[in-house]
Amino acid sequence: MYQEPKIIAEIGCNHMGDMKIAREMITVAATFCKADVIKFQKRTPRELLTPEEYDSPHPNPRNSYGKTYGEHREFLEFSVDQHLELKELCESFGKVYSTSVWDMTSTRQIVELNPRLIKIPSANSTNWAILDFLCNHFHGEIHVSTGMTTRNEVDSIVKFFEKNHRNHDLVLYHCTSGYPVPFEDLCLLEISRLNDLYANRVKAIGFSGHHKGIAMDIAAYALGADWIERHFTLDRTWKGTDHAASLEPDGLRKLVRDLKAAEKALKFRPDKFLEIEKPQAEKLRWDRNRLQSE
């Protein structure tokens, strides 16, 4: 039997550093789209970037919110207190708040907020220091994306969590790190491979998609991804690198709707007529007279 799909609205940095926009995005994702989880990102730019990277121009200047890439990243960051406010707003709608952590300082800060789950982005999938800290200091679910990660590295991640007796809190996501990703690079059959290898060793398998449209998410769920994560924006034309690979409100709403419908449909039929078929059988089958007399 298929598990109920869990849908994550990845706001990330699409709030453009504006708390008013972030609050609006939470409200829309929770009430109109009906996502299960609303997720942000947390970085400490001075820790994450080298001095050269911090002081260099943004590689795509028209998407930059500062004179340097470091200033751009600082502009998009919310404080711990602001994240706490966002968490409380999510929970007021009955939704789960989460955040991707990109460095050790951010990891420690978000652990203090005690969310139900923390996400490890693909860039940190083999950051053993962060994974070790979470295994030892965070009691919630740990979700790990595997873009830019080899198969041997994925296996090492699972074994690491098993060694730390935290594998049953691990959700492992198939992911391709690109923005946006063409369909031929989604490699969705990897979801089946992850299920074959790890379904009995981890809590669940997920899919984090950066593609266009919503059809591939339904395919991912049918292949065994219980968690579906998509970037979310209010306007795909807004300034920033992630908006183009994000779903707008109606797209996310339809994705939630279609995944819930797929859950109802993905089952075996019983070895008898379905109730909906009985009137048709009595009217259309070649042996309908026999059926009607039984």
Candidates 17, 15, 12; CA nearest to 37 is 12
CA 49 to chain centre: 25
pLDDT of residue 1: 67
Q: Could you tell me if 9 and 230 are in contact, meaning their C-beta atoms sit under 8 angstroms apart?
A: yes
Tell whether pTM > 0.75. yes
Residues 257-294 have pLDDT tens digits of 999 999 999 999 998 889 999 899 889 988 888 877 77
Average pLDDT over residues 219-227: 98
Q: What is the DSSP string of 181-234?
A: PPGGG--THHHHHHHHHHTTTSSEEEEEE-SSSSHHHHHHHHTT-SEEEEEB-S
At 8 the pLDDT is 98
Give how far Cα 190 sits from Cα of 40, 161, 173, 175, 219, Å: 26, 20, 10, 9, 12
Which domains are delineated in the chain? 6-293 (3.20.20.70)
Indicate the average pLDDT of the chain.
96
pLDDT value of position 195: 97
